[in-house]
A and B are shown apart, each in its own frame.
Chain A
Amino acid sequence: MTAGRVNYASLSAGQQLAVKYFVVAMALFLAQMLFGLLAAWQFLDPEFLFGIVDFNVNRMVHINAMVVWLLYGFIGSIFWLVEDEAGVPLVGLKLANITFWVLTVAVAIVVVVYLVVQSGPGDKWTLWFINEGREYIEAPRWADIGIVLCMAAIFYNVAGTFVRGKWSGIAGVLVLDLIALAGLYFAGMFYTTNLPLDQYWWWWVIHLWVEATWEVMVGCIMAWGLMKTLATPRRIVTTWLYIEVALMFGSGILGLGHHYFWIGTPEYWLGVGGFFSALEPIPLVAMVVHAVYDAGRHSFRSNNHPALAWLIAHAFGNFLGAGVWGFMQTLPQINLYTHGTQWSSSHGHLAFFGAYVTIIVAFIYIAIQKLRGDVWMSAGLRGGWRWKWSLALLHVGMVGMTIALLIAGYEQSFVERAVGGSTWAAYFDGQTQPWFVEAMWWRMGFGVLMTAGLVILLVDLLRIGAGETRSSKSLAR
């Protein structure tokens, strides 16, 4: 194997499949960013693309591209590590490849229909074939069924491979988490006239994915990643993983209650949701401790600097975005005024980025290193400015955007909610205040900065390691 050359054939079958998932993930990441820019610009110039690609369409593609590419990133990461972890080849490679293509074609059709057809008559047909009209899970029902079938095929491959090979703590948590993740999707696959009931189950999918099962999946990926980049002993990462599962599910499952404050559900959710969701940052603090401790314990001796940097970014990003930004507005006394304002948008942006984008990018760097024949990716890397600049631009852009949206959210909570009493006139009063308008400009600017960072990142993922002849640093002690 020659360091520095792309050597696809040297990868295991599961890892080759993972590369395909990562390629689609990155393409959708770019799409997410571009549609985000369009939507952000419409805040500043509402006439822009009015009646052609309206805000609701841009915003739907923006958030759906995100959900799908993060899932692609997770699935890719799992396929990357499953054979290594189980010690045997994938049980159903052919099925796994078919699943990838079916899923990808389905995603493409859904996006084209979103953009071209956009909406339909007010009946079940539209919900089945065009758009379900429920934020984050807009995918029409036919696609829901396809997604579930694909997830079942993926689950068969992952669980089957562990069954044939060997189990580990990471394997056990991963398999159980996949069952929960796929099973929860069913909660979003029905229609009811009753809006509170609709939103009750809708949150089962959104919250129990994003604030519970996805976090645990990330814990599994992080555990494996730390073993690879820092040579952290398996016993340590597995113990930490169990601690994280206990803390994450211990707080996150009932933390679901913070979405049940204002949707018609009983008053006890104010207490249950407020209390448990206030505990949700604890596992995220634990993750920071874990990452910092491990990095320090190994004196930052890493064979993959970009991956380690993104893993550390993940630990802090998850804590700040999901933990701190979530905690700020999770108590009902505060949430009464911040619910449904730009405050939520601020939290959403930093949380998804800090908790999920970072870990997937880290993982892709781990994969690229192998793909380039275990090339050198430590100090003095040729073209090393690219990963540093992309990391910096993406983070400065995201933090700037988050703060801009937070200022807009403060202003909106104050002017529209606290003073204006949430009427439509109060809403627009809030939207026209200089603080709000300026914040939208800042958000746009930082969004452009992020996009520049993403372009450099994509170039770097294609180029990193090219021309290097040194082999990866050994972590042996």
Chain B
Amino acid sequence: MAEASQDEDTSGPEWWASEDFWRKCAIFVTAGMAFVLVVLTYHTHTVILAGAESGRVPAYSVINHRIGYAFDDDRNMMVPVIGPLAPLFGEELSEDEARALVDHGKLTVQARNCMNCHTLLGNGAYYAPDLTKAWLDPGWGNEEAREFLMTLFLKDPVANARTYGTNRRMPNPELTDEEVRGVIAYLKWMSAIDTNGFPSGFTVLPQGSLSRGTES
């Protein structure tokens, strides 16, 4: 009985152990944090629009340019570098055309469920390599061979398997020519996103100068 009277103490607990105090805490903390999140979300939104001034997420027409990834001393991390004109498949596109092509690529990547083997910006499954910097991967040999090899691989990844000794082949997603072009455009655009230095220490395949020289 002594036990029961302790639990059902009629004088009530101290204020700091009372239901009322903690209910108010729960409400104010939740509301406060939600408010901060909404403010940060609004700000982040303006910063990560494609082609926004911050440059974090490039305009889709960035696929007209050579893209690099190099260490930046000021930010103390690796950042994408947008180089001179080097149009994808040798064809310079307007922003709208580039957006349509990248969009087709992204839809294809979602429709073929790529993310349940690969990671995109590090998110997804861990059965196949990350695609964040796939466009810049040294596995394509060099700049001249890249578009040809990527196309060949995506058209028939079973016959042109790149398994690096694991026997893990990519199943054939049976992409159309337009889907292949879209996926490559999407990957090129993705490689130009400023990801705060992820992945770290990455080696870019051999390619031409990133200096934009006299071009302005």
Residue ranges of A at the interface with B (Cβ–Cβ < 8 Å): 39, 42-43, 46-47, 50-51, 54-57, 59-60, 118-124, 126-127, 130-135, 138, 169, 173, 191, 193-197, 199-200, 233, 235-236, 238-239, 242-243, 245-246, 249-250, 253-254, 256, 259-270, 272, 332, 336-337, 339-342, 344-345, 412, 417-418, 421-425, 427-429, 431-432, 477
Q: How far is the CB of A454 from chain B (nearest CB, A)?
A: 23
**Contact yes or no, B117 A266, CB < 8 A:** no
- A179 vs B130: C-alpha distance in the bound complex, in angstroms? 36
Question: Is B166 a contact of A428 with CB atoms below 8 Å?
Answer: yes
Interchain CB contact under 8 A, B119 and A340: yes
Contact B169 A50 (CB under 8 A): yes
Give every chain A residue within 8 A of B138 (Cβ-Cβ): 423, 425
Nearest CB in chain B to that of A332: its residue: B196
Residues in B neighbouring A51, C-beta threshold 8 A: 158, 171-172
B88 sits at the interface (CB 8 A)? no
Closest 4 pairs (CB-CB, A-B): A122-B108, A133-B110, A428-B164, A422-B199
Contacts A122-B107, A264-B121 given; 9 further ones with Cβ under 8 A? Answer: A51-B172, A131-B110, A134-B110, A138-B116, A195-B106, A200-B41, A262-B121, A340-B122, A424-B134
C-alpha gap A477/B4 in the complex (Å): 8
Residues from chain B with Cβ under 8 Å of A39 in the complex: 127
**Nearest A residue (CB) for B174:** A119
Q: Is B202's CB under 8 angstroms from A196's CB? A: no
Return chain B residues, CB-CB under 8 Å to A425. Answer: 138-139, 164
Q: Is the CB of A133 within 8 A of B115?
A: yes
Please, which residues of chain A bring their CB within 8 A of the CB of B119? 340
Q: Report how far A409 CA is from B8 CA in the complex, Å.
A: 50
From B111, B165, B176, contact of A126 by CB (8 A): B111
B111, A195: Cβ atoms closer than 8 Å = no
Interface residues of B in 163-216 (CB under 8 A from A): 163-169, 171-173, 175-176, 179, 182, 190, 193-203
Known contacts: A56-B117, A126-B111, A421-B200. The answer to whether A50 contacts B104 by CB under 8 A is no
Task: Tell me if A123 and B129 are in contact (CB < 8 A).
Answer: no
Distance in angstroms between the alpha carbons of A246 and B111 in the assembled complex: 40
- Whether B201 lies near A422 (C-beta < 8 A) is yes
A133:B113 contact, CB within 8 angstroms = yes
The answer on a CB contact under 8 Å between A46 and B23 is no
Contact indicator A132/B110 (Cβ below 8 Å): yes
Contact of B195 with A262 in the complex, beta carbons under 8 Å: yes
Most buried by B among A54, A121, A267, A340: A340
User: Using Cβ atoms and an 8 Å threshold, which residues of chain B touch A200?
Assistant: 41, 44-45, 48
Interface centre among B25, B123, B162, B195 (most CB of A within 10 A): B123
- Are A119 and B173 in contact (CB-based, < 8 A)? yes
22 contacts between A and B (CB under 8 A): A46-B163, A57-B116, A122-B110, A124-B107, A126-B111, A133-B112, A133-B113, A199-B120, A246-B30, A249-B33, A250-B30, A262-B197, A264-B193, A266-B54, A266-B56, A267-B196, A418-B201, A421-B203, A422-B133, A423-B138, A424-B139, A427-B129
Residue B102 CB within 8 A of the other chain: yes
Q: Mark B37-61, 1 if CB is under 8 A from A, else 0.
A: 1001101110111100010110010
Interface set of B (CB-CB < 8 Å, partner A)? 3-4, 7-8, 13, 17-19, 22-23, 25-26, 29-30, 33-34, 36-37, 40-41, 43-45, 47-50, 54, 56-57, 60, 75, 99, 102-117, 119-127, 129-130, 133-134, 137-139, 158, 162-169, 171-173, 175-176, 179, 182, 190, 193-203
User: By the criterion CB–CB under 8 Å, are A424 and B111 in contact?
Assistant: no
Chain A interface, DSSP helix/strand/loop, else mixed: helix
Q: Are B111 and A127 in contact (CB under 8 A)?
A: yes
Distance A124 CA – B103 CA, assembled complex (angstroms) = 11
A196 touches B29 (CB 8 A): no
**B30-A253 in contact (CB<8A):** yes
Contact yes or no, B179 A122, CB < 8 A = yes
The smallest beta-carbon distance between A204 and chain B, in angstroms, is 8
Chain A residues, Cβ within 8 Å of B125: 55-56, 59, 135
In the bound complex, residues from chain A placing their C-beta under 8 Å from that of B133 are 422
Check A339 against B202 for contact (C-beta < 8 Å). Answer: no
Q: A127-B110, A254-B33 are in contact. Are A50 and B171 (CB under 8 A)?
A: yes
Q: Are A429 and B164 in contact (CB under 8 A)?
A: yes
Q: Is the CB of A266 within 8 A of B47?
A: yes
Among A46, A169, A233, A261, contact of B166 (Cβ-Cβ < 8 Å): A46
Given A56-B113, A122-B182, A344-B126: A417 and B22 interface contact (C-beta under 8 Å): no
CA distance A400 to B172 in the complex (A): 34
Q: How near does chain B come to A271, taking the closest CB pair, in angstroms?
A: 11
Indicate if the CB atoms of A417 and B127 lie closer than 8 Å.
no
**Shortest Cβ distance from residue B158 to the other chain A in the assembled complex, whole angstroms:** 8
Chain B hits for A56, CB < 8 A: 113-117, 125, 127
Cβ–Cβ < 8 Å partners of B113 in chain A: 56-57, 60, 118-119, 131, 133, 138
CB-CB under 8 A from B7, the residues of chain A are: 233, 236
Given A424-B164, A432-B165, are A339 and B198 also a contact pair (CB < 8 Å)?
A: yes
